[in-house]
Chains A and B, each alone.
Chain A
Amino acid sequence: MQRNIISIIKIVFSILFFVASFLYFSIYIDPTVIYYKQQPLFLFDYQFIIKYLSFPGGFSTCLSLFTSQFLFSKWAGAVVITIFFYVISVISLSLFKRFFSEKTSFFLQFIPVILLIHLHSNYEYDFRGGYIYLFSILACLAYLKLPKISLSIKVLFLIVINIILFALFGGTALLLFSLLVILSELYFRNTRYFWVIMLLQPIIIISILFISINTSAYINFNMALWGILHPETHYKPLKLLYVFIFFLPLFLLVKVVFKKYLKTSYLYNQYKSNLPGKRNYFSLLLFIVLLFATEIFAFKFSYKQEDKKFIQIHQFADDHNWKMVLKLGKELPYHDRRVLFQVNRALCHQNQLLDKAFSYVQFCGDHGLLLTKHYNRQVLMLISDLYFDMGHIKESLHWAYEAQTIYDYSPEVIKRIIINNIILGEYTIANKFLIILSKSPVHKSWTGKCKKYFKDESLITNDPLIAEKRRLLPIEDFHTSTKNPQNDLKKLFIENVNNKMAFEYFIAYALLTHDLSSLAVYFDYFEKLNYTLLPVHVEEAIILFITLNNNYPLNLGKYSISELTQKRFIEYSKILMKYKHNSKIAEMELHRYFHDTFWFYIHYISPITTKREIQVKNLK
């Protein structure tokens, strides 16, 4: 009866534990955000799969990609993650049971899951670590389940299993499996061949490492030995991943030490003799509460709302949900140029760039508007996005190809390459990438639509997006510039007067770089682009320009500076004069009333004024 109640409690707790995990991942973490960040693509294609089998550990990447593709859906993703956690706990339980009592094992099985909750709460973390852990334990269980057989068969088994583990799951799996085997041998010591196995396992590892390093071009010593734990130029394993991989051997080590030294000690025997004879539910419930509290703590501790928002701002931008981009833009730190980039993009799409840009702290100046000057792997697709928006398609394609060097099978990158090539009329190239993407069931509907386009070219010409981008395509060739992107913008709107976005970005760039002369030179384009009124920030810039350049009359044509802007400028000047042009003292008051103006930006925010240098790592 008591046993039944305990079993029911355990089952109920397990259900609650995994349901909580499911809810946490579906509601808080949101698998679609993980999917967006990681852009996994698994192709049901022989060549694609075989590629991952060509190097040690590749199979774990392949499995991880396969699993990650389900994260494209919020609910399906949460279910997959929860099932994955459940399998991990069940397999862990099987191993713990070999070393610990049933009750202790029951609780210990949740530890790897709690660690995984934290790991998977990081949007960059994939399933490789989990699979390595899983298959290393399975290999260890298989080893422990071997009947008492001859040494030669046992040795053969060890050699084969080590090679398979290394080939499929890499050095991390080999390391974990070896530690588990050695600790198991130390713990059980139930074979006559104890010392043979103890010596053999390290020899096998050394041999595998030696052979692989000297015969395979894919891995060096560190990669062979440490697998995914080895940091690389652009890959830093999470610290908790080390804990996740090594906690199990550590627990077993404690158990081995305990068995060997403490179990016979006086203190332990004293403690054991003082334990109450009758077991009660109290300790069980206490542990359950503790475990549940740990899970809740793991949720709380692991969930990084800011990280999520930072990915979501790009996700919303991709979905053209500009209102949400602007909302997140207010919540996220303004010193990140990628946030400002998306905010400026959203403002432009909402026709507010030249009216409201300075409502946001333009901390990065022009580096928050155009990213090419300091390009790195984090901004490649953002550059491509912006140039796509303004119909600078060859340049958008160029940056998509650059992104592809790093994220070779990213669906986002592949889709951009397809669309850009369709716009450029390069259907053969577009079709090449379409064939690849169509091998993924997740993207079937998108590729299906594109395939129809190839069958009926009139669908391409009638597609409003493609038609719009084709209208904006530059006709005259020019050399693009990463260092002076404003030159590209200039050429885009001079050649194609309908390219309002390029013009607004050019003017915004001029404002952000204090280049008021460019504003003056290209002022007539406001009329060419049919602006009924001058945008607020342009008014603010012009009034300042006129004040500073009395000898250079600016013909405003049909436009005039609104009374409100004139009045505000007088007030701004008065405050400055009140503090005798001491801008430091005037800052607080100016901020209160004029923080959203061009004047405040050039006085206090602009990196040109503050001589703040943009810091970008890893230009490669």
Chain B
Amino acid sequence: MKKITKYLIIVVAVLAVLILARRLSSPGIPVDCVKNGRIPEIFPDYTDITVPVNIAPLNFKIINKAKKFRVSFSGSKCKAFVIKTKENKVIIPERKWRKFIKSNSNDSISIQIYAKNNNSGWEQYKTIRLFIASDKMDSYIVFRHINTGYILWEKMGIFQHNIENYKKTPILLNERTDRNCMNCHTFCNQNPGQMLIHLRTPPSGTILYKDNEVKFINTGTPYTMSAGVYPSWHPDGNLIAFSVNLINQQFHAASQRNIYVFDRASDIVVYDIDLNEVTTCPELSTKSLENLPAWSPDGKFLYYISGVPYDKKMPDSLVKYDLLRIPFDAQYKKWGKPDTILTAKETGQSISFPEISPDGRFLIFCMAQYGYFNIHSPGSDLYIMDLENMNYSKLPVNSNYTESFHSWSSNSRWLLFVSKRLDGLYSRVFFSHIDTAGNASKPFLLPQKDPDYYETLLLNYNRPVFVKNKIKISANKLSKKAFSGTVNATFDKNVNIDALSGATRISSDAMYQLAD
């Protein structure tokens, strides 16, 4: 018995040495292979992209047909590793990937694909190169998942996705709130501890999560045309600028667009969390269509768009928005005079969704032929403006399909946006690196563990934003709050104009009631 054990140990040891030796001598790269001179077709397209050092493994699918594949990952600062697969999916081990990209931070890496068919030898495709930027991306993105319905909905929810490990978890699903409509999740400085979510239909209101406390607020008042719609959180954390809108939509019978979303009226208000009070100023509540507020990172300016007043007879194609900003003194809540930054007349297009980089240097906005709700506009593209000289240019990240809903990472080096370029219908998240001069790298698709993930997914990624860390509040707490009834916001007694479009003076009687 002892002898057998002894022999067994020897055999196992020899085998182990042999395996180790083979491993060390050849990492799996085919020795005799023919270069076919072709660029491999892979999905998602990872050629010549820049990725952050904290991105999850970039698993992909090889479109070119073969019986066997070997994929080598190499970089100048780390030993190469090879993945052998008979399937066309390349699934990279997470630990290996993490170590690999960390070692090659701020450097290029190569992906080399070898393919073999039954009767032929190994073929070598052209090398795919990508750059590992040392600039980290915020770990989470938060978005709404929703079907492609325009009037109806059944299931929707706000989700968070960890870009470091693909993990997607729901923050709040409408299954817990009577299947109502929810959106416009917004964070203060990408902070997961300061969040708001609108619930549009009963139980309707705005869920406000701040300092570990959840409030459910009705931001609508008799002096605003609606509850708050498109929000932007002031960097001080206490003020939130909202647009108030009367939104309509129309469907096209024979246009490239399916739907046109427009406002019959819109103004901008600011909600004070501590005072639970809504205020506005005559410049932000004119008869023009003020919309889509966005604070500058220092909180001294509120950027917004403004369009000519609604006219039923005006053709859709003439509804265009300008980009403006208005100075603001947060301490005294004093507004300055608005300044037009860029007009539709200059660009020939309609501007929407201004977003300023956290370092205050760049402003990214959308432009499309007309209107402001560009997610349904196939011609919507992203533009970047250097706020030092106010020059703007079209970003090289655009495609022939819709690009919209962009968001900056907290370090201002990463831009995310949605694009419908994969299939022309569903919005998917793409990332691009923006360097200090404002140059954007080739965008890449939000990586998923299974490269086929998007193939059967019938949900849009709606309004994705970066968040620094995981949102920890439970859906149970949020939904419970939603059913606890809203706290009604009050209207500022110190301003005597309303936000019902046109900055109408509030009558003395009404002011008296307001004071009560």
- A interface vs B, CB < 8 Å? 43, 45-48, 213-220, 223, 232-234, 375, 377, 380, 392, 394-395, 397-398, 401-402, 404-406, 408-409, 426, 428-429, 431-432, 435-436, 439, 473-480, 488, 491, 620
Contacts and interface: CB of A to CB of B under 8 A. Distances in A.
B36 interface: no
B256 to A, nearest CB: 9
A217 B253 contact: no
Contacts of A48: 456
B175 interface: yes
Given A404-B149, A408-B147, A475 B254 contact: yes
A479 B150 contact: no
A246 B171 CA distance: 34
Nearest to B260: A479
B295 to A, nearest CB: 30
Interface of B: 147-155, 157, 169-173, 175-176, 178-179, 201, 250-255, 258-260, 423-426, 450, 452-453, 455-458, 474-476, 479
Contact of A213 (B255, B426, B476): B476
A405 B152 contact: yes
A377 B152 contact: yes
A47 B254 contact: no
A439 B456 contact: yes
Given A408-B147, A620-B152, A432 B423 contact: yes
B170 A217 contact: yes
Contact of A43 (B148, B155, B456): B456
Contacts, number: 127
A394 B455 CA distance: 24
21 contacts: A46-B452, A47-B453, A217-B176, A219-B176, A220-B476, A375-B151, A377-B152, A394-B252, A401-B150, A402-B151, A408-B147, A408-B458, A426-B424, A428-B423, A429-B424, A431-B423, A432-B425, A439-B456, A475-B254, A480-B253, A620-B201
Nearest to A387: B253
Contacts of B258: 394, 397-398
A611 B258 CA distance: 36
A129 B67 CA distance: 44
Interface centre among A43, A214, A377, A405 (most CB of B within 10 A): A405
B171 A217 contact: yes
A439 to B, nearest CB: 7
Contacts of B147: 401, 404-405, 408
Contact of A429 (B170, B255, B423): B423
Contacts of B424: 426, 428-429, 432
A450 to B, nearest CB: 15
Contacts of A47: 450, 452-453, 455-457
B253 A394 contact: yes
Nearest to B480: A220
A395 B149 contact: no
A542 to B, nearest CB: 30
A178 B362 CA distance: 60
B456 A406 contact: no
Contacts of B474: 214-215, 217
Contact of A402 (B149, B155, B250): B149
Given A48-B456, A219-B175, 16 more contacts: A47-B457, A217-B157, A398-B259, A401-B148, A401-B150, A404-B148, A405-B149, A405-B155, A406-B152, A408-B155, A429-B424, A432-B426, A439-B456, A473-B254, A476-B254, A477-B253
A406 B155 CA distance: 8
A429 B176 contact: no
A45 B456 CA distance: 8
**Shortest Cβ-Cβ A-B pairs, 9 listed:** A405-B149, A217-B475, A217-B170, A432-B423, A479-B250, A405-B147, A477-B255, A477-B254, A480-B251
Contacts of A408: 147, 154-155, 458
A389 to B, nearest CB: 15
Given A234-B154, A401-B149, A392 B455 contact: no
B400 to A, nearest CB: 10
Given A432-B425, A439-B456, A478-B254, A217 B152 contact: no
Contact of A214 (B151, B252, B476): B476
A477 B453 contact: no
A474 B479 contact: no
Nearest to B178: A233
B250 A435 contact: no
A272 to B, nearest CB: 54
A218 B450 CA distance: 23
Given A401-B148, A405-B153, A479 B253 contact: yes
Nearest to A46: B450
Contacts of A428: 423-424
Contacts of A380: 152
A48 B155 CA distance: 16
Contacts of A432: 423-426
Nearest to B251: A480
A214 B457 CA distance: 27
Given A218-B173, A220-B479, A488 B450 contact: no
A404 B155 CA distance: 11
A429 B450 CA distance: 21
Given A233-B179, A477-B252, A491-B253, A406 B423 contact: no
A517 B260 CA distance: 32
Contacts of B172: 217
A432 B179 CA distance: 27
Contact of B251 (A217, A394, A476): A394
Contacts of B456: 43, 45, 47-48, 435-436, 439
A47 B479 CA distance: 28
A479 B251 contact: yes
A575 B406 CA distance: 72
Nearest to A223: B175
Nearest to B426: A432
A428 B260 CA distance: 22
A515 B437 CA distance: 66
Contacts of A45: 452, 455-456
B253 A395 contact: yes
Contact of B176 (A220, A233, A401, A476): A220
A217 B172 CA distance: 6
Nearest to B457: A47
Contacts of A219: 175-176
A47 B168 CA distance: 13
B396 to A, nearest CB: 22
A21 to B, nearest CB: 34
A305 B453 CA distance: 43
Contacts of A435: 455-456
A479 B252 contact: yes
A47 B449 CA distance: 11
A167 to B, nearest CB: 16
Nearest to B170: A217
A475 B252 CA distance: 11
A202 B172 CA distance: 28
A233 B176 CA distance: 11
Contacts of B178: 233
Contacts of B149: 401-402, 404-405
Contacts of A426: 424
